[in-house]
A and B are shown apart, each in its own frame.
Chain A
Amino acid sequence: MSDASGEALTRAAARSVACCAHCTLPVPAAEVHEGDALQFCCGGCRAVHGALHEAGLDRYYDMRARSAGIAGIAEPARVTGRGFEALDDAAFLARHMRVDERGGSSIELRVDGIRCGACVWLLEAMPRVVRGVESVRVDGTRGIARIRWRREQRSLSDIARRFDSLGYQLVPFADPDAVARERAANREWLVRIGVAGAIATNAMAIAFALYGGILAEMQLAYRLFFQWCTVALAVASLAGPGRVFLTNAVAAARARTPHMDLPVAFGLVAAVVAGVVATIHGSGSIYCESAAMLVFLLLVGRYFQYGKQRKAREQVELLLAIVPSIARRVTRDALGVERTIEVPVDALVPGERVEVTAGEACPADGRLVGASAHVDLSHLTGESVPQRIEAGGQIFAGSRILGAPARVEVLVAGAETRAAKLLELVRDASERRAPVVELANRMSGWFLMVVIACAALTVAWWWPRVGAEEASLRAVAFLVVTCPCALGLATPLAVVAGIGKGARRGVLVKGGDVLERAARVGTLVLDKTGTITEGRTAVVGSRGDSEALALAAVLESRSAHPSARAIVDAFGASSSALVATDVREHPGLGIEGRIGSRLVRVGSVRYMESVAAAMPDLLRDAARDAAGGGAAPVFVAVQGRVEAMVAIGDAIRRDARETVSRLQRSGWRVMIASGDDPVVVSCVARTLGIEARDALGALSPEAKLELVRRADLPRPVVMVGDGVNDLAALAAADVGVAVRNGAQASHHVADVCLAARGIRPLERFLAGSRSTMRTIELNLAISIAYNVVGGALAFVGLVNPLVAAVLMPLSGLTVLVVALRMPKFEIPSGAEPAGTEGAR
């Protein structure tokens, strides 16, 4: 775990009394039950703990202590208490379920709530406690469970309810065939790489014998035998796993479009054909083993790329989970009694009513009926503060209902919802982003051709001068010494080392091309919440009598309201001896109480007016300024007179200003793109020294997407965001950066995830990218220099094939050492970038 998040946990723990016995998160003061041995942070955790104990599965907690986290992020358990009847739907089962020969049924479902190996253990232990379940097999990384059960003994919805009682929700796949397709494609890749690797290494081994033999004046028959073996292997490599390159190249040639596989295919074919010709003639030299090695290395590179694309596709599946696939429709039976029944979301029709229980996401866009509700939009917008929606107000699919259950009248469902349209944007954006051809990929094809041409030149040059035998010996030495191993290893090694070091520093980078793109200086687009600001309510300013502020803190210590906590945090230290009595809270207005003989009121301007408290002009002006700066003013009245004003808002991070100006100095154009009020955004921008034209507020998701695609911005565009409204922009930006605790979907779409909030981890990532890219460049330079020097020495006859074969691994080793030592994810101290740029 990174220092920063560990620190955050300790800080949070210090504020509360205990840690939750289930999820280990700190228990909020309001939930602490004095005298209990076990404390829980929420009802969900308490319920799950009870259910586990009842089922005799207490071992879960031992298991958890031993197993390292898969997702690694603790979160409270969620028990929805849903019926899951839709899982018993005949049409659904026909599509998703398979029946095996022994009469058992099996199904693959997504599982929400898996956090670590102990969760896997728990789910796989289900057959022991639930009769009718034969086996559960969990893929913890992808969150997939394969359940085999007896339908005659237990229905699937029953099993799902059991899972739910332990805090895991079963979710059907939107497209079950896609999962199988991906798996098959992955298998094919692995087989291809396995074959290519086996051929490459064997060809290399035989080639070593060949070169050693040439030097020891091996008989021609043996030499030819070795040559034929190598050539045969190379042909097999090209015809088998290497066929991808040929078909791509042929397709590109037919379409008359340049493609990176064209030079690769040409080089490979040239090397193999030259080898075949030389072997048939019984003279000359071959270069086939290097071709086989290149096929292998290139395939490995491609596989990493494929893995990333697969991940992206799987994420779309996860994104769909923002909107539940099952809705609870409210119907009336013959007697006019209201009932709810679970139906697939696709079956919803506008005008119908659905019930959404607390903690659940709304299944469709609609209008709230009946009572008002609090909704958590963090999945959609990344805003952590719940919003209140009045009855009749619009509610979007994916917003999570808090507190009491709510009724929603469906306006649009399915593909027409706002969330579905957002997902469409995301998919579109990820597909339109041009693939980045890695440096090594671009070079390898040309490299092969140049080497073969040079080898031919060596023979042509020396034949008339020193005779055929010596000329071909020099050509062989040349080919061996210029083996592309180091060149092929240069990039992947540095990338692997860079990604590994980043992960240890809380910077999770999803691919080497990301580091390559972020290494240059371009535009940095920040969202306001979380990255620049603290992302929580705090006192950002105050005016007036300090004693009144202390009294306010005493009074507010009796309230659980977020603003109250902020006031206690800011002013509560000095007045702990006082106690408030007769405390009364007026929801939406404020709080009042007696401290000693004085009547103290804290609340909004509306509250002050309603109790007719005298308001000095000074404080009224201060409040207007605070509102202009994006903060909410809260007043403190003592004995009927307003004595002080506190501005409550989202405070700007302490390190933000310094970091922004450092980034600006090193050439980054820093922008703010936020969905918040433009006034607030421009206020934040002013504080940070960001130009007014670069501070954009009230942006819709589409506008954010438009922004990162703007042609006039310096490339690369690095977009930082954490909400679903940022998703499309994150996917479309050259580098999308998600911040921890943001909407889960943003982690999946983004190229980089930062384990800690704030702008400093971002700077660390940019520094690490630069450092990794420098390592790659240095490594390429080393291997090319090595090849040029070695090639020249071989050309003039100073290196014989055996010495070349011994020297060959040396360049690879150099590259390895450099890669492991070099990339650093450190924030450069002082007035850097100029210095490190020069160090290249």
Chain B
Amino acid sequence: MELVYVALPVALLIGGAALAAFIWAARDDQFEDLDTPPSRALFDDLPVEDGGTPKDEGARKAS
């Protein structure tokens, strides 16, 4: 039963770590826009193909 003296603070520390992660994410503005990123996830499936080669040479470098 003495274990709780260790287990409880450890549990709180783990919780605190999760909280710190959340605070970091919030400060990083990750909760600013919750609607665009989900659709952005779709974009990466579709790299620009050679059929639709962009006119500009900067294209490849930028993407």
A interface residues, Cβ below 8 angstroms from B: 54-59, 62-63, 66-68, 70, 116-117, 120-121, 124-125, 127-135, 138-142, 183, 186-187, 190-191, 194-195, 198, 201-202, 206, 209, 219, 222, 225-226, 229
Contacts and interface: CB of A to CB of B under 8 A. Distances in A.
Contact of A127 (B31, B52, B63): B63
A59 B46 contact: yes
**Can you list the 10 inter-chain pairs with the closest CB atoms, starting with the nearest?**
A117-B39, A56-B52, A190-B26, A127-B62, A128-B59, A140-B36, A131-B58, A139-B33, A198-B19, A67-B39
A186 B39 CA distance: 23
Interface in B1-31: 1, 4-5, 8, 11-12, 15-16, 18-19, 22-23, 26-27, 29, 31
Given A186-B31, A202-B12, 16 more contacts: A54-B55, A117-B39, A117-B42, A121-B42, A127-B63, A128-B54, A128-B59, A129-B54, A129-B55, A133-B62, A134-B62, A141-B33, A141-B34, A183-B29, A198-B22, A226-B8
Given A194-B19, A198-B16, A140 B53 contact: no
Contact of B56 (A129, A202, A226): A129
Contacts of A55: 54-55
Contacts of B57: 131
A314 to B, nearest CB: 12
A70 B63 CA distance: 25
A138 B63 contact: no
A734 B27 CA distance: 35
Nearest to A68: B39
16 contacts: A54-B55, A56-B52, A57-B52, A59-B46, A117-B36, A120-B39, A124-B43, A128-B59, A129-B56, A131-B57, A140-B39, A198-B15, A198-B22, A202-B11, A206-B8, A225-B4
B20 to A, nearest CB: 10
B8 A138 contact: no
A194 B23 contact: yes
Contacts of B56: 128-131
Contact of A229 (B1, B8, B27, B63): B8
Given A128-B62, A222-B4, A58 B52 contact: yes
Interface in B32-52: 32-36, 38-40, 42-43, 46, 48, 52
Nearest to B45: A66
Contacts of A59: 46, 48, 52
A70 B35 contact: yes
Interface residues of B, number: 38
Nearest to A54: B55
B54 A198 contact: no
Contact of B40 (A66, A120, A201): A120
Nearest to B33: A139
B15 A202 contact: yes
A190 B31 contact: yes
B36 A129 contact: no
Contacts of B19: 194-195, 198
A56 B54 contact: yes
The majority secondary structure among interface residues of chain B is helix
A206 B11 CA distance: 10
Contacts of B35: 70, 140-141
A134 B1 CA distance: 60
B22 to A, nearest CB: 5
B29 A191 contact: no
B28 to A, nearest CB: 9
Which interface residue of A63, A67, A131 has the most chain B CB atoms within 10 A? A131
B16 A191 contact: no
A203 to B, nearest CB: 10
Nearest to B27: A187
B9 to A, nearest CB: 9
B36 A141 contact: yes
A204 to B, nearest CB: 12
Interface of B: 1, 4-5, 8, 11-12, 15-16, 18-19, 22-23, 26-27, 29, 31-36, 38-40, 42-43, 46, 48, 52-59, 62-63
A63 B43 contact: yes
A117 B12 CA distance: 40
B15 to A, nearest CB: 5
Contacts of A66: 42
B58 A127 contact: yes
Given A127-B63, A129-B56, A222 B15 contact: no
Q: Which of B16, B40, B43, B59 has the most CB of A within 10 A?
A: B43
B36 A120 contact: yes
Contacts of B58: 127-128, 130-132
Given A120-B40, A127-B62, A138-B36, A222 B8 contact: no
Contacts of B23: 191, 194-195
Given A121-B43, A128-B56, A198 B36 contact: no
A57 B48 CA distance: 8
A124 B52 CA distance: 16
Nearest to B26: A190
Contacts of A209: 4
A194 B22 contact: yes
B56 to A, nearest CB: 5
Nearest to B21: A194
B42 A63 contact: yes
A738 to B, nearest CB: 20
A135 B1 CA distance: 58
Contacts of B18: 198
A209 B63 CA distance: 54
A58 B54 CA distance: 11
Nearest to A70: B35
Contacts of A187: 26-27, 29
A135 B58 CA distance: 12
A117 B40 contact: yes
Given A55-B55, A56-B53, A59-B52, A142 B4 contact: no
Contacts of A140: 33, 35-36, 39
A194 to B, nearest CB: 5
A834 B32 CA distance: 45
A254 to B, nearest CB: 32
A201 B16 CA distance: 12
A116 B39 CA distance: 9
A404 B52 CA distance: 36
Contacts of B54: 55-56, 128-129
B55 A56 contact: yes
Contacts of A194: 19, 22-23, 26
A187 B31 CA distance: 8
Which of A62, A134, A139, A190 has the most CB atoms of chain B within a 10 A radius of its CB?
Answer: A190
A128 B48 contact: yes
Contacts of A201: 15
A190 B23 CA distance: 8
A130 B63 CA distance: 12
Contacts of B16: 198
Contacts of A54: 55
Contacts of A132: 58
Contacts of B4: 209, 222, 225-226
Nearest to A139: B33
Contacts of B55: 54-56, 129
A460 B17 CA distance: 42
Contacts of B53: 56
A225 B12 CA distance: 14
A640 B59 CA distance: 69
Contacts of A138: 36
A578 B16 CA distance: 83
Contacts of A68: 39
Nearest to B23: A191
Contacts of B36: 70, 117, 120, 138-141
